Structure 1
Amino acid sequence: MAPTDLPLPVVRRPHPDPDVDVPALERALRERVDGEVRFDRGTRATYSTDASNYRQTPIGVVLPRTPEAAEEAVAVCREFGAPLLSRGGGTSLAGECCNTAVVLDWSKYCDRLVSVDPERRTCVVEPGIVLDELNRRLAPHGLRYGPRPATHPNCTIGGMIGNNACGSTAQAYGKVTDNLRRLEVLTYDGLRMWVGPTGEEELERLTSGEGRAAEIHRHLVALRDRYAGLVRERYPDIPRRVSGYNLDSLLPEHGFDVAGLLTGSESTLVTVVRAELELVPVPAHQSLVVLGYPDIATAADHVPAVVAHDPLALEGVDSRLVHFQRRKNLNPEALGKLPDGRAYLMVQFAGDTRQEAAGRARALIDAGTGAVDHTWYDDPRRIGELWMVRESGLGATAHVPGEPDTWEGWEDSAVPVHRLGDYLRDLKALFEEFGYGHPSVYGHFGHGCVHTRIPFGLRSAEGVARMRAFVERAADLVVSYGGSFSGEHGDGQARGELLEKMFGPELVEAFGRLKTVFDPGNRMNPGKVVAPYRLDENLRLGPDYRPWEPETAFAYPHDDGRFSAAAARCVGVGRCRSLEGGVMCPSYRVTREEEHSTRGRARLLFEMVRNGSPVDDGWRSEEVRDALDLCLACKGCKTDCPVNVDMATYKAEFLHHHYAGRLRPASHYSMGWLPAVARLAAPVARTVNALLGVPAVARVAKAAGGIAPERRLPLFAEQGLTDWWRERGGPRGDGRRGEVVVWPDTFTEHFHPSIGRAAVEVLEAAGFRVKVPETSVCCGLTWISTGQLGVARRVLGHILEVLREDLRRGTPVVGLEPSCTAVFRSDAVELMPGEPDAERLREQTRTFAELLDERAADWRPPAVDARAVVQRHCHQYAVMGFDADRRVLERAGVEAEVLDTGCCGLAGDFGFERGHYEVSMACAEQGLLPAVREAGPGTLVLADGFSCRTQVEQGGTGRTPLHLAEVLAAALRGEEAVGERPAAPGPRALLAPAAVASAAAGGGLALLARRRARRRLGA
C-alpha cells in the first residue's frame, strides 16, 4: 500500500482556552444526557486532582448511565467546544486525570460485564468496571484479566486502558496492550467504531472507503510508513515502555493494531466506550520465594538469573520500604517472615498443582541466586500477607513519621533488566547529589521498572526548581540506559515535556500528527502527552501555596499540629473506593460517589484551606458539610488508608467550627447529649420505656430528636451497672493478678448492663480485683462524633479527675464498648495534648480481650465449644486491633468466623439520624446482615459494639448478638450463651435487602439530591 501525504499540522497549543458558555453547556448536558450532571463548586473541587502533584479545576463532571449517554455528552461538548477528559478510578500519578475540561466519570454506572466467552477466553466490558470486581464476576468461569496493578481493588478497566497498566503479573501476562482483543472508541467529532488488529485486506477496504473512519485509517497508514524506521530505531526494546504513543502497534509485525495504538493514550485521542479483553486461567496454585540480599542494587544484579525461571511475578523491595512499614506498623506479621538481608526479591510462581508450584520454588532456590538468605511459602494466606509488603509501597513511603514528605514525579522509570543494578547505583548517586537522601526504591524488577517517592520541596520556588533540574537529569540517565521515563504510570503532565529527550524531535512530531488525526481541535485532555504543560506548572502545592491555618480543637500531632497538613495527607491512591474487604469506606460502597469516599472528602477539606479554591467559605462551607454528612465516622480510614487519613477526626473538627454559635441539627442535641439524657431517664427507666412503646409518643420523640422514623428506640436499663455494683457491695476476689477498673460507659451503664456484670464475673474468675467507678462518668464519644468538642474536652477532664489515683498507680482501665475505648486510646490525647494523665489513660486502657490476653494468658475459661460469627467494631479495628480477641476466642474453644464485610452501618448516631436510614441499612446489607441470616441456629453472633448489636437486632435477622464477656460468663456458669435482649424487628427493619440497597445506591438519595439542587441554585 503506497504511503499517502501527511498534510496534518502538529498540535502546538498546550492549553487552549476556548470561550465556553458554561451555563448553556450545563443546561444542554442536563437536558440531553441520561446521567448525573454536576457543575457545583463541591464536585468541581472534588475532581480537581488525581494521585499526582497536579491540580486543575474541571468545568464540570458528567456521570453517564450508559455508553450511549456518554456519546451524547461528547456531542454536547463538541457543540460548545468544551475540552473533555474521560476518567476511570482517578489514581493516575502523572496528572493525566485532572484538567480544565468536562470530566466523564464512568465508575458509578458504566460497570457492566457485557458478555463472556469462556471458550475463546474473552469478555466485553464497559470502562467503569473495577478490576477486582471484574475478576470476581469471571471467577465462576475459572478466568481472570491478567494485568494486576497494585490499585486492583479500585482501578477501572477504562483507566487501565488509558494508562496501558501493567502491575506485578505483567511479568507473565504483559501490559494491557498484550491483553486486548478490540476497543470500541468514540472520537471527539462523533465517530464511534470498533478497532483492533487489522489485516491487509481489511485495511485496504477501510482506506479505500469514504467517511471519517476511512480518513483516519489512511492517515494512520501514512504515519506508519513515514515513521516506521524511526519507531524501530528509537523505541526502547524493553517490556515496560509505556511513555509515548504506541506507534509501534501500527507496524506490520504487530498487525496494524489500532486498539494497541490507542491504549495508553490517556484520553488525549479518543474516549473508550467498551473493550473486548483477552483472559487467562486463574492459577490453580501459587508459591512465593523471598530472597534476601545485602542491598537493593545487588538484588537487581541477580534479576536476570531469576527471570530465567519464568516467574508469574518478580518484585524488588529495599530495606527503606521495610523500615517505613515498621515505623507505620503496616503488615507487621508479614515483615517478621522476611529472610535476612537489607533488600529482597519476591518471586511468585504458579502451577496446576501444589506440587508443581512448590517444585518451581525449590528449583529456583536450588539453582543459586546469590542471596544471603531465603524463605518460601505455598500457603495462600501467607503469600497474600507477604505480597502486601510490596503492594503497600506507595502508602508506606508517604507521610512517614520523622521523615520529610515525599512525592511522585520520578516514580516510574524502567530500564533493561540486565542493566537495572547499575541504573539503581547511578540513581542513588543522583539522589545524593541533589540532597534528597536515600528514598526507598522498589518495583517490578523482573521488567526493570522502578518506583520511588522523593522528598521534593514543592512548597518553594527553590524546591520546585530543584525538582525540575533533578527530573531532567534523571531523564537523561534513563535515556543513557536505553530505558523509558514511564514503566506503567504514563506521561500525562509529569513526563510529557520530556519526551523529546527519549524519542527525538521527529517522533514527538509524529505524536503531534497522531493527535491531529483523532483530535484536530485539541479538545481531548489538552496539555497532556502532546504539546504538554510544563512539568512544574499546575502544581497542587507550588511556591504560591499558602494554605489557611485555622485554630483547631484537636492537636494533629502527626501533621505538625496543622489542620492544613492533615487535609493534604491524602495521596489520592483511592483505596477508599474499594468495594469489599476492610472497613473503608462504607458510604462510598453504597453510593459509589467520589465525594463520599475518604479521598473525595479529603480533597474538599484540602480545597477548603487552599487559596484560590472554588470552596472558599472556610468552616461554613456547605459543600464540605454535605460531603461529611454521609461519613459514618467509622475510623476505618485511620487503618485502611495507606496514609492513615482520619476522616472521623476531621469531621468532628469541621462540625465543631461549622456550628459554632449557631443552632445545630436536632440529632446533635438528642444523641450528642445522650449520656445526659440517659442519666435523667435512669431513675424512671420503666416509665420512659413504657411511654416510648406508645407509637404516637415514639413518633413525636423521634421527630423532635431528629431521629429516623424507621428506627426503633433502644430501651433503657431499669438497673444500671453502677447501681448493681453498689448493691453488690463493691470489689470481690483474691486479686492475685492485680487490680483493674471496669469502665461503665454510657452504653453499658444505661442500655446493656448485663455486659458489665458479665465482665466483672469473668475478670474476677481470672484472678483480678475489679473496681467500677460509682460516680456518673462518660468518655465524651457522643459529643466528639457530633463535633461538640468543648463539651467533650470538659467531659474528658472529669474522667481524668475520677481516674487520677488509679492512673498514677498504673491500674489498667478496661473498656467494654470499643468506640469508648478508642476515645481513651486515641482521641483523648489529641483533645488534651500535653496532659500527662491523658497519656497515662491511653497507655493503661485495654479492651476486655487485651487484658485477658496480656495479663491472664495462662487462665483458661471453661470451653464454649461453639461456632460464632463475629462482627468487629470499626473503631476497634482501626485503633486497638482484633488479634487479642482472636486468641481469647481460640482459648475458649470458639470457632470464630471474623467477618471482613465492612461497617455495620449504624455507627453510633449515624444510622439513627434522620435521612441516613437507607444508607445505614445498605451498608449492613453488603455483608453483615446476610452473614448473620446465613448463620446456623447453633452459631453464636458476637459483636462487642453497641451499634453493631443494635443494627443486627433491628435488621430483621431474628438474632441477639452477644458481647465476648457474656459468652465467657455463660461458660463459667455452665450455661448456653443465648443472650438476654429482645430481638424483635422494628418498623421497616424487614425491608427487602435489595430494595434498601437499590434505594440508597441507585442515585435516588432524596436528601443528597435536594442538597445538590440547593447548591446549584445558590451558585
Structure 2
Amino acid sequence: LLLVEFAEDDPEENSRRLAGLHDTMAELGFRWDDPARREGGVLDAPDQALQAKITEVRTQGLNIMMSMKSAGKPVSFVEDCAVHLEDLADFTDRLTALFARHGTTGTWYAHASVGLLHVRPVLNLREEADVRALRAIAEEAFDIVAEYKGSHSGEHGDGIVRSEFHEKMFGARMVRSFEQVKDRFDPDGVLNPGKIVRAPKMDDRSLFRYPPQYRHQPVETRLDWSGWPAGLHGAVEMCNNNGACRKLAGGAMCPSYRVTRNERDVTRGRANTLRLALTGQLGPDALTSDEMAETLKLCVSCKACKRECPMSVDMAAMKVEVAAARAKKHGLSLRDRLVAHLPRYAPLAARAPWLANARDRLPGVAALSQRVAGLAADRPLPAWSRRPFREEGGDAEADVILFADTFNRWFEPGHLRDAVTVMRAA
C-alpha cells in the first residue's frame, strides 16, 4: 500500500496531479476490477476525515506490526537502510529474497519517497537459529546497501546493532577519527559506551533482552492465556518498552504513573517486573512476593492499558493472576474476605445499620479495625443506608432491566431509586 500525498496550494493543481497518478498506475497495469471506478489502482481520499484516519494508520504502523502474537517478532537492525529512490524497488526485492533464504519474512512501513522503507525481519531471538539468521541477514543486507552506495543508517541512530559495521560503511580512517573525537570528549568512556565506536558484536546474546539462560518458569494460571504463544509469559512479553504508558496527557493510561511519576507504577515497569519474575530472574517465589504485590498495588485495574497500549498489554488481568497466585500460597486476609463476601452478609448487616456504622462513631473502634482487619482507621467506611434498595420484580414485558449493584443497593440506594423514577417517566 503506497500512500501518495499532493499538497500544493492550488486545489486544482492537486486534482490534476491526482488524475496523472491514476493514468500512471493504469499504464503500469494496476486497475480496479470494478468498472465504475476510475482506472489506475488509485483510491482517492479528498475527505479530510478519511485523510486523518489514513495518517493515523501510518503513525501506528510500527505498533501494528509489533502487536503480532507469534513467538517471532519484527526485529529492528536493518530497518534504517536507505538507497537512492530509483534503486528502492530492486533493493526491497533483494531483501525479500534474503529473508526467504533464512526462512522468514519482513514487515515494511514508512517513507518510500526518500528511498527508505523500515523493514524488520520476523525472528524469535530466544532461538539460537534465529540469532544466527540475525547475523547473516545483517551482513548480507549491509553489503547490498554498499553496492547501491546507500547508508545503513538513513534516519535513526546506530547503537549496538549497527556500530559494529561502521568501518565497512565509512572506512577505517573515518572510524579512527570517530574514536579520537570520543576519547577527547569522554576519556574515561562513561557516556553511552559501546555505541558508534568500539562496539561489541551485535549478536552477543548476553546483551539481548532474552539472554541464553532466559527460561520461562512454570506457573499455574486462572485466566485463559491461550491466545498468546507461551500463555501468560507470552502476554507479558508483548510489552516491547515503547513507553506509550508514560504519556502525561490524553487518554487515561496510566493513571497511577501520572501521579507518582515512578517507573515502577507504569504499565511498562509492571510488565518488566512480571517478566523478570516469570523467568526466575528475581529469585524463587518472586511472583507471590511482597515486592511484587507492592509493584502492582497502585494498578487500579482501569484497563486503559489494554485499550491504549499499542501492544494491548492487559495489566488488570495480569494483576488478577498475581493476586490468585499470592492467595493460593498465603491465603486470604480478613480484609480480603470482608470485601469479597460483602454481597452475602450485606442483607444481615443492613437490618441493624446503626450497629454496622458504629465503627466510625465509637472511639477506638476504627483503630481496632485497622489492627485486626486492615481497614484504614483514618478513612471512614461507606455508611450503611437505613432504607436500602429492596424493590424487586416489575413488569415482565419491560424494555429495561436495572441491575442493582451491591454498593448502591446497601449504601447509596438513592441512585437506584432515581434511575427507576427516570425510566418509569420515560
Q: Do Structure 1 and Structure 2 share a fold, with TM-score over 0.5?
A: yes
Partners of 1:734 and 1:428 in 2: CA distance: 63
C-alpha contact 2:21 2:42 (8 A) present in aligned 1 = no
How far does residue 584 in structure 1 lie from its aligned partner after superposition? 0.9
Structure 1 residue 579, shift from structure 2 partner: 0.7
d(CA) in 2 for partners of 1:971, 1:433: 66
Q: In 2, distance between residues paired with 1:564 and 1:620?
A: 16
Q: Partner of 1:671: helix, strand, or coil?
A: helix
Quote the offset at 1:742 in angstroms.
5.2
Could you tell me how far 1:717 is from its partner in structure 2? Answer: 4.2
Are the structure 2 counterparts of residues 410 and 617 from structure 1 closer, same or farther at C-alpha, using a change threshold of 3 Å?
farther
Whole-Å separation in 2 of the counterparts to 1:480 and 1:344: 26
- Name the residue aligned to 2:196: 529
Q: Is the 8 A contact 1:549 1:562 kept in 2?
A: no
Query: 3-state DSSP class of the match of 1:410?
Result: coil
**1:493 pairs with 145, 160, 169, which one?**
160
Paired residues of 1:670 and 1:706 also in contact (CA < 8 A) = no
Q: Indicate yes or no: 2:74 matched with 1:406.
A: yes
Matching residue's letter, 2:115 = G
How much has 1:702 moved relative to structure 2?
6.4
- CA-CA distance at 1:711 after TM superposition: 4.1
Change (3 A) 1:745 1:406: farther
Letter of the aligned partner of 1:560 in structure 2? P
Per-residue CA distance 1:270-290 (angstroms, 9 max, x = gap): xxxxxxxxxxxxxxxxxxxxx
* Structure showing the higher strand proportion among its residues: 1
> In 2, distance between residues paired with 1:692 and 1:377?
66
Q: Is the 8 A contact 2:110 2:118 kept in 1?
A: yes
The answer to whether the 8 A contact 2:6-2:18 is kept is: no
Change in 2 beyond 3 A, CA 1:757/1:358: farther
Find 1:471's aligned residue among 105, 117, 138: 138
Give the partner amino acid of 1:368.
L
Q: Tell me if structure 2 keeps the 8 A contact 1:406–1:453.
A: yes
Contact 1:457 1:467 in 2 (8 A): no
Cα distance in structure 1, aligned partners of 2:213 and 2:91: 35
Aligned length in residues: 407
1:508 and 2:175 matched:
yes
Match of residue 674 from structure 1: 342
Instruction: Summarize the alignment of residues 727-876 of structure 1 with structure 2, pairs less than 5 Å apart.
Output: 730-734=393-397, 743-753=403-413
CA offsets 1:133-180 (integer angstroms, 9 cap, x no match): xxxxxxxxxxxxxxxxxxxxxxxxxxxxxxxxxxxxxxxxxxxxxxxx
- Determine the structure 1 residue equivalent to 2:120: 453
> Post-superposition shift, 1:667?
4.5
* Partner residue, 1:368: 21
**Which residue identity does 2:425 align to in structure 1?**
R
Within-5 A mapping of 1:935-1014: 970=422, 973=425
1:396 aligns with 2:49: no
The alpha carbon displacement at 1:455 in A equals 1.9
- The residue that corresponds to 1:597 in the other structure is 266
**Counterparts of 1:483 and 1:592 in 2: how far apart (Å)?**
42
**Do the aligned residues in 2 keep the contact of 1:575 with 1:641 (CA within 8 Å)?**
yes
By how many angstroms is 1:486 displaced?
A: 2.4
- AA in 2 matched with 1:431: F
Q: Distance in 2 between matches of 1:571 and 1:731?
A: 52
Contact 1:748 1:756 survives alignment (8 Å): yes
The 1-side partners of 2:218 and 2:80 are apart by 34
Map 1:104-503 onto structure 2 (within 5 A).
Answer: 343-345=1-3, 347=5, 349=7, 356=9, 361-362=14-15, 364-368=17-21, 370=25, 372-377=41-46, 379=48, 383-401=51-69, 404-437=72-105, 439-503=106-170
Deviations 1:173-228 (A, max 9, x none): xxxxxxxxxxxxxxxxxxxxxxxxxxxxxxxxxxxxxxxxxxxxxxxxxxxxxxxx
Query: What amino acid does structure 2 have at the position aligned with 1:374?
Result: L
Name the amino acid aligned to 2:78. Answer: W
Instruction: List per-residue Cα deviations over 1:646-684 (Å, max 9, x = no partner).
Output: 111212222332354437666434434433453442333
Q: State the shift of 1:695 in Å.
A: 6.8
| Cα contact 2:74–2:107 (8 A) shared by 1 | no
**1:413–1:478 CA contact under 8 A, matched in 2:** yes
Check whether the contact 2:360–2:366 (CA below 8 A) recurs between aligned residues.
Answer: no
Give the corresponding residue for 1:650: 318
* 1:687 Cα offset (Å): 5.0
**Cα-to-partner distance string for 1:941-975 (whole Å, 9 max, x where unaligned):** xxxxxxxxxxxxxxxxxxxxxxxxxxxx637627x
Q: Distance in 1 between matches of 2:254 and 2:10?
A: 36
Please give the alpha-carbon distance, in whole angstroms, between the structure 2 residues aligned to 1:573 and 1:669.
38
| Larger CA deviation: 574-583 vs 482-491 | 482-491
Q: Give the conservation status (yes or no) of the 8 Å contact 1:549–1:564.
A: no
Unaligned runs of 5+ in 1: 1-342, 762-968, 975-1019
Deviation at 1:386, TM superposition (A): 3.0
Does the CA contact (< 8 Å) of 1:408 and 1:454 recur in 2? yes
> Any conservation in 1 of the 2:228–2:235 contact (CA below 8 Å)?
yes
Distance 1:464 1:445, change over 3 A: same
SS at match of 2:43: strand
Distance 1:556 1:390 in 2: 30
Question: Gaps spanning 5+ residues in structure 2: where?
Answer: 26-39
Tell me how far 1:395 sits from its aligned partner.
2.1
Q: Secondary structure at the match of 2:44?
A: strand
2: CA distance, partners of 1:752 / 1:561: 45
Distance 2:369 2:247 in 1: 34
- SS of the counterpart of 2:322? helix
Shift in CA distance, 451/666, structure 1 to aligned 2, threshold 3 Å: farther
- Change beyond 3 A, Cα 1:618–1:376: same
Paired with 1:505 and 1:666, the residues of 2 have a C-alpha distance of 70
* Cα distance, 1:541 vs structure 2: 1.4
* Secondary structure at 1:427 match in 2: helix
What SS does the corresponding residue of 2:149 show, helix, strand or coil?
coil
Q: Please state how far the C-alpha of 1:401 moved relative to its aligned partner.
A: 4.5
Aligned with 1:441: secondary structure?
strand
Give 1:610 shift: 2.7
Where in structure 2 are the equivalents of 1:583-622 lying within 5 Å? 583-611=252-280, 613-614=281-282, 617-622=285-290
- Identical columns (%): 32
Q: Deviations for 1:219-249, whole angstroms, at most 9, x for unmatched residues? A: xxxxxxxxxxxxxxxxxxxxxxxxxxxxxxx
Q: CA deviation at 1:581?
A: 1.3
Rate the CA distance shift 1:676–1:365 in 2: closer, same or farther, 3 A: same
Write the distance in 2 (CA, Å) between the matches of 1:522 and 1:510. 16
Judge conservation of contact 1:399–1:406 (CA < 8 Å) in 2.
no
Secondary structure, counterpart of 1:455 in structure 2:
strand
Q: Distance in 2 between matches of 1:697 and 1:384?
A: 61
Match status 1:539 vs 2:186: no
Q: 2:146, 2:314 → 1: CA distance?
A: 41
Residue type of the alignment partner of 1:483: G
Deviation at 1:490, TM superposition (A): 1.5
Shift of the 548–733 alpha-carbon distance from structure 1 to 2, 3 Å rule, reads: closer
Aligned to 1:714: 382
8 Å contact from structure 1 (residues 458, 543) kept in 2:
no
Using the TM superposition, give the Cα deviation of residue 549 of structure 1 relative to its aligned residue in structure 2, in angstroms: 2.2
**Separation in 1, partners of 2:338, 2:119:** 50
Q: Distance in 2 between matches of 1:686 and 1:595?
A: 42
Contact 1:615-1:623 within 8 A present in 2 as well: no
Question: Partner of 1:545: helix, strand, or coil?
Answer: coil
Task: Tell me the distance in 2 between the aligned counterparts of 1:697 and 1:677.
Answer: 24
> How far apart are the structure 2 equivalents of 1:454 and 1:367?
35
